[in-house]
Amino acid sequence: MQLQQNISLKPYNTFGIDETAEYFIALHNTSDLEELTAFNKEKHILGGGSNILLTRAIQGLVVLNQLKGIQIEKENAEHVWLKVNAGEVWHDFVMHAVSNGWAGIENLALIPGTVGAAPIQNIGAYGIDAKETIESVEGWHWLDKTFIRFSNDECKFGYRDSIFKHGLKDKVFVTSVTFRLNKRAAYHTGYGAVEQELERMGVQELSIQAIAQAVIHIRNSKLPDPKQIGNAGSFFKNPTIPIVQFEALKKAYADVPSYPAADGMIKVPAGWLVEQCGWKGYRKGDAGVHAKQALVLVNYSDATGSDVWNLSEEILHSVNNKFGIELEREVQLW
């Protein structure tokens, strides 16, 4: 095993923030986990680095998950179970599934990051959450020094949430995720602009290939490519508010978009709230708010994590002042 010291994490986070790691290793084999466990430093796990904001030099060991490989576990007439190693690039896995005709994750095309990160924040888009296809999550427990398997239930999935963000935060190194995909597709086109885009593309017969393409077009048109402008996708979660509060909001803003949420609550897009406060397209130094989607904060070049963090604080305050709604960050602070 080759540990590196004091290296820049800039290439390893999609925000492109230049902070260092005291120790760093790219992990390719699970057989190295035991030896790594004995290295007595705090461990931070990095997948695609697409949902983190670095605001300081990282003390301890950063482990880049590079475990690769996709294996068919079993299949029947209806389903195929795939065990996918955590370091696989999420979008490549989606396209692999789509090209084999395995349905269930086509709406999640082009989400940045790795397969191992998918269960941690239960990634989702266009009406589908990763939890709907996750059968189990396998990982290495740093303290118990054993491999452990979590059933879908045990992962305690929520909206952009799971046990790996709470009780098991930094305690488990996800090694693989087992998905159950469908051989017969059930299409989900009702959310957002998917239907419109399929129509624009002139799609006559629906397929998972067409849906993946539609999603790719929509995402490319609204979300900045991290290779060109640093970002971590949605910076905030969409808040849910009580129906009375929503009705008052709708009186003042007739065109407020909304989705029904659990327990009679209403989900309001954070992007809309941030835009209403005048932030869309705002730039201060190299930190800014994306001009096509106000939910996405960006690093134009040399912003520090604190520049982005301070901007997010200003946005939180202004949304709270104007609407009495407290936004929550989706991005993890490092």
> Would you please indicate which residues are annotated as catalytic (active-site) residues?
160, 234, 330
277 near ligand EPU, judged by CB under 6 A: no
- Residue 323 binds to ligand EPU (criterion: CB under 6 A): no
In whole angstroms, give the CA distance from residue 109 to residue 124.
Answer: 10
Question: Which window, 68-76, 134-142, 232-240, 309-317, contacts ligand EPU (CB under 6 A)?
Answer: 232-240
Query: Nearer Cβ to ligand EPU, position 66 or 276?
Result: 276
Residue number with CB closer to ligand EPU (69 or 260):
260
Residue 239 in contact with ligand EPU, rule: CB under 6 A: no
Helix (H) or strand (E) holding 132: none
Residues in contact with 123: Cβ distance below 8 Å, sequence separation at least 6, in sequence order: 90, 108, 111, 113, 117, 129, 130, 160
Closest approach, Cβ 275 to ligand EPU, in A, equals 4
Report the residue from 113, 280, 297, 304 that binds ligand EPU according to the rule CB under 6 A. Answer: 280
Q: Select the residue interacting with ligand EPU from 16, 87, 271, 305 (CB under 6 A).
A: 271
Cβ–Cβ < 8 Å for 198, 106: no
Cα torsion for 217, 218, 221, 225, to the nearest 10°?
-80
Between 24 and 272, name the residue whose CB sits nearer to ligand EPU.
272
Q: How far apart are CA 225 and CA 197, in angstroms?
A: 20
Shortest CB 141 distance to ligand EPU, Å: 28
Q: Contact, 101 vs 206, CB < 8 A?
A: no
269 binds ligand EPU per the rule CB under 6 A: yes
Supply the DSSP string of 164-208, one letter for each residue: GGTTTTTTEEEEEEEEEEESS------STTHHHHHHHTT-SS--H
Residues 80, 125, 172, 298: which binds ligand EPU (CB under 6 A)?
Answer: 125
Q: Please, which residue, 83 or 91, has the CB nearer to ligand EPU?
A: 91
Min. distance of Cβ 203 from ligand EPU in angstroms? Answer: 19
Write out the DSSP string of 16-72: ----EEEEEEEE--GGGHHHHHHS-S-EEEESS--SEE--SPEEEEEEEE----EEE
If one asks whether residue 257 binds ligand EPU (CB under 6 A), the answer comes out as yes
Q: Tell the residue number behind the tokens 């090694």, with chain if given.
A: 175
Contact flag: residue 234 with ligand EPU (CB under 6 A): yes
DSSP output for 234-257: ESBPPPEE-HHHHHHHHHH-TT--
Among positions 197-226, residues that touch ligand EPU (CB under 6 A) are: 222
Binding flag, residue 237, ligand EPU (CB under 6 A): yes
Nearer to ligand EPU, 162 or 175 (CB): 162
Question: In the complex, which residues of this chain contact ligand EPU (CB under 6 A)?
Answer: 125-126, 192, 222, 233-234, 237-238, 257, 269, 271-272, 275, 280, 293-295, 330
